[in-house]
């Protein structure tokens, strides 16, 4: 869960950007490049997001269209001191990141969490997630790094001895890259009782048919596998156990099914919901814009525009053509049944799963004009945001969680060094953070490039940096925070000044130096691991 599974035989397509802004002249000059979020692939119209399998993403734009992921460029100007992965478009999408950015700007509490399934050595794909957690911690977030060992055991069948070995390695790399364990929290799913208790509560709000629809589970899926999904939902909401706060989960887009389910469960766990309403009856989301339209047009039809009646609004709406005829028909029926009841905007706070005591407390907490019904309270003097704060506080005062919907950011997948997939079964396609620096050097030197057939052609036409795994190494890792250097490599390539041999030599040397430095820091932390508040040697049976 919530891990970047780059070496799980997944397809990794897509381009990077070097500066987060307008393309340079050199970049505009090439018809092969795109600046809109991905590359096209013939026959790959559908996007499949599978957290455990092979996620095919031929065109990142389709994630916006098919799944409602938002473009990160839209929120980037509101992010203080954005990470270079954000500036370069490697982080390309988000769900509801605005509250996190606002908390950063205002100095309010917020959190960042991601997890790592310990099924192998940490690699350069995982480094992106490590960096995103560490950067958020440096911006003031309560940071959490978790080992998804229950998932590894249930979904991948690893023994606990194997899990222990890999868990230790993940933690060492996270620490070596800059995670501060004194200011953040490290934990294992299997050792965290609070997490497991929360998972039990969340499980009561989910069902097997729902998991089957989301994850393609079937009658052969074991129960522990299903249970691991609920545990992942608890991981995502865990930072809010003490108090609700904006929380971001950095992931690859293959993990988006988890995020959608977590946001849904966070809402289901709330005692109350808040919505707009216009009369005592309950309107569906697609009906509310029609009711608003009818209310706004009251001067046209109401005998008393200060007090339009639902029946009058029904007659008016019946003669108009909204976008959805079905929604109009149902809205007209409800308005007709309401008859002489006034059509009047109000904020509705409705009961989702509140106790009787909490509902009574809500009634008391709502000031001003209100109407109380069996399952909701209509407030005429409160905005939706004010009503949400009151509802959340009443929930917290009465033993509820008050969860805020968790946010997420999505980064592009790295292309394998051999081109196409980055696969754990093809060692040359990826670089482990444990690789000997000389081996890392050799893998980069042997990597596929986006170069032309000959040096002469490259000088004439320029290289295809957007299709080059070596350039990705510069953009994702080797340039670090130096945007000028990343841009220089890109523009020299596409302008024909940079040839692949020298480019790979430079990248190989930088990679070897990075691995050497990283492993030295890992060694330093290894001597201090016993001081950390995380048990890396489980006493579970070695099944």
SS (H, E, C) 402-439: CCCCCEEEEECCCCCCCCCCECCCCHHHCCECCCCHHH
Q: How many whole angstroms separate alpha carbon 164 and alpha carbon 188? A: 10
The whole-angstrom separation of Cα 47 and Cα 49 is: 7
Cα dihedral sign, 447-452-457-461 = negative
Bridge pairing between strands 185-188 and 111-116: unpaired
The residue that leads in pLDDT, 88 or 539, is 88
User: pLDDT exceeding 90 applies to what percent of the chain?
Assistant: 68
CB 118 within 8 A of CB 149: yes
pLDDT at 26 over 60: no
Q: pLDDT grade, residue 59 (50/70/90)?
A: low
Strands 247-251 and 346-351: unpaired
Name the pLDDT band for 424 (thresholds 50, 70, 90): low
Q: Is the pLDDT of residue 234 over 70?
A: yes
- pLDDT for the residue 219: 84
Q: Is the pLDDT of residue 19 over 60?
A: no
Query: What is the rounded average pLDDT of the residues 6-16?
Result: 34
pLDDT in tens, 175-194: 999 999 999 999 999 999 99
H or E element that contains 303 = none
Question: Measured between alpha carbons, how far is 146 from 118 in angstroms, rounded to an integer?
Answer: 10
Residue 222 in this model has a pLDDT that exceeds 90 = no
Quick one: pLDDT band at residue 221, thresholds 50, 70, 90? confident
Please state the rounded mean pLDDT for residues 65-73: 86
Per the model's pLDDT, the better-predicted residue between 12 and 481 turns out to be 481
Question: 366-381 pLDDT, tens per residue?
Answer: 999 999 999 999 999 9
Whether the predicted pLDDT of 7 surpasses 90: no
42-56, 132-146, 322-336: which is most confident: 132-146
- pLDDT exceeds 50 at position 528: yes
Residue 289 clears pLDDT 80, i.e. is over it? yes
Check pLDDT > 80 for residue 383.
yes
**pLDDT for the residue numbered 535:** 81
Residue 423 confidence (pLDDT) = 65
H or E segment and range at residue 231: helix 223-237
CB atoms within 10 A of CB 339: 11
pTM listed for this prediction: 0.84
Q: Give the angle subtended at the CA of 471 by the CAs of 470 and 472, to the nearest 5°.
A: 90
Check residue 416 and give its pLDDT: 87
Structure confidence at residue 263 (pLDDT): 97
As a whole number of Å, the CA-based R_g of the chain is 27
Instruction: Report, as an integer, the average pLDDT of 148-175.
Output: 91
Contact 416, 12 (CB under 8 A): yes
Res. 268: pLDDT tops 90? yes
* CA pair distance 393, 100, nearest whole angstrom: 20
Does pLDDT of 49 surpass 50? no
Reported as a single tens digit per residue, the pLDDT across 477-513 is 999 999 999 999 999 999 999 999 999 999 999 999 9
| Average pLDDT of the segment spanning 293-302 | 96
Selected residue with higher pLDDT from 126 and 322: 126
The pLDDT, as a whole number, for residue 324 is 65
Least confident of 33-37, 177-181, 527-531: 33-37
- pLDDT tier for residue 323 given thresholds of 50, 70 and 90: low
Question: What band does 430 get if pLDDT is binned at 50, 70 and 90?
Answer: confident
Q: What is the pLDDT, as a whole number, of residue 377? A: 98
* Amino acid 369: pLDDT: 97
In terms of pLDDT, which residue wins out, 133 or 49?
A: 133
Q: What mean pLDDT is predicted for residues 233-240? A: 98
Q: What is the pLDDT of residue 39?
A: 32
Whether residue 250 is predicted with pLDDT greater than 80 in this model: the reply is yes
The per-residue DSSP string of 1-47 comes to: --S--TTSSB-------SSSSSPPHHHHT-TT--SSSB---TT--S-
Contact yes or no for 424/399 (Cβ under 8 A): no
Between residues 216 and 132, which one has the greater pLDDT? 132
Identify the pLDDT of residue 51.
Answer: 41
The pLDDT, as a whole number, for residue 218 is 86
């Amino acid at each position: 869960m919530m891990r970047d599974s780059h070496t799980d035989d997944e397809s990794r397509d897509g381009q990077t950007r070097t500066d987060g802004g307008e393309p340079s002249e050199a970049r505009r000059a090439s018809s092969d490049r795109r600046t809109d979020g991905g590359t096209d692939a013939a026959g790959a119209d559908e996007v499949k997001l599978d957290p455990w399998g092979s996620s095919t993403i031929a065109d990142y734009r389709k994630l916006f269209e098919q799944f409602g992921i938002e473009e990160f460029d839209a929120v980037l100007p509101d992010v203080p001191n954005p990470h270079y992965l954000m500036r370069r478009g490697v982080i390309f999408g988000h769900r509801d990141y605005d509250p996190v950015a606002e908390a950063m700007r205002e100095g309010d509490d917020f959190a960042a969490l991601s997890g790592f399934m310990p099924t192998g050595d940490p690699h350069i794909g995982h480094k992106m997630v490590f960096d995103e957690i560490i950067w958020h911690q440096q911006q003031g977030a309560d940071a959490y790094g978790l080992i998804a060992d229950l998932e590894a055991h249930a979904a991948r069948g690893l023994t606990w001895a194997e899990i222990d070995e890999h868990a230790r390695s993940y933690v060492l790399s996270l620490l070596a890259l800059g995670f501060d364990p004194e200011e953040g929290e490290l934990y294992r799913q299997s050792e965290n009782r609070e997490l497991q208790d929360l998972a039990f509560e969340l499980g009561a709000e989910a069902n097997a048919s729902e998991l089957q629809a989301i994850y393609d589970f079937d009658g052969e899926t074991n129960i522990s596998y299903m249970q691991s999904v609920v545990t992942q939902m608890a991981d995502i909401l865990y930072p809010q156990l003490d108090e609700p706060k904006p929380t971001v989960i950095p992931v690859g887009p293959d993990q988006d099914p988890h995020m959608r389910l977590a946001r849904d469960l966070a809402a289901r766990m709330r005692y109350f919901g808040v919505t707009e309403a216009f009369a005592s009856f309950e309107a569906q989301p697609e009906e509310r814009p029609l009711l608003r339209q009818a209310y706004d047009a009251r001067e046209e039809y109401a005998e008393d525009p200060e007090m339009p009646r639902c029946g009058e609004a029904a007659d008016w709406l019946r003669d108009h053509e909204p976008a959805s005829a079905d929604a109009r028909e149902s809205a007209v029926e409800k308005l007709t049944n309401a008859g002489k009841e006034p059509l009047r905007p109000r904020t509705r706070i409705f009961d989702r799963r509140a106790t009787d005591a909490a509902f009574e407390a809500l009634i008391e907490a709502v000031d001003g004009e209100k109407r109380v019904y069996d399952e909701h309270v209509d407030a005429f003097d409160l905005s939706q945001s004010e009503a949400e704060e009151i509802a959340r506080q009443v929930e917290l005062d009465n033993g509820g969680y008050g969860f805020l919907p968790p946010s997420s950011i999505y980064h592009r997948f790295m292309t394998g060094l051999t081109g196409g997939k980055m696969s754990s079964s093809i060692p040359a396609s990826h670089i482990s953070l444990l690789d000997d620096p000389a081996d890392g050097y050799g893998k980069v030197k042997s990597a596929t490039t986006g170069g032309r057939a000959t040096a002469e052609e490259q000088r004439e036409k320029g290289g295809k940096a957007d299709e080059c795994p070596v350039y990705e190494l510069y953009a994702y890792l080797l340039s670090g925070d130096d945007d000028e250097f990343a841009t220089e490599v890109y523009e020299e390539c596409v302008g024909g000044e940079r040839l692949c041999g020298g480019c790979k030599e430079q990248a190989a040397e930088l990679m070897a130096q990075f691995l050497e430095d990283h492993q030295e820091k890992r060694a330093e932390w290894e001597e201090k691991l016993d001081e950390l508040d995380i048990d890396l040697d489980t006493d579970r049976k070695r099944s």
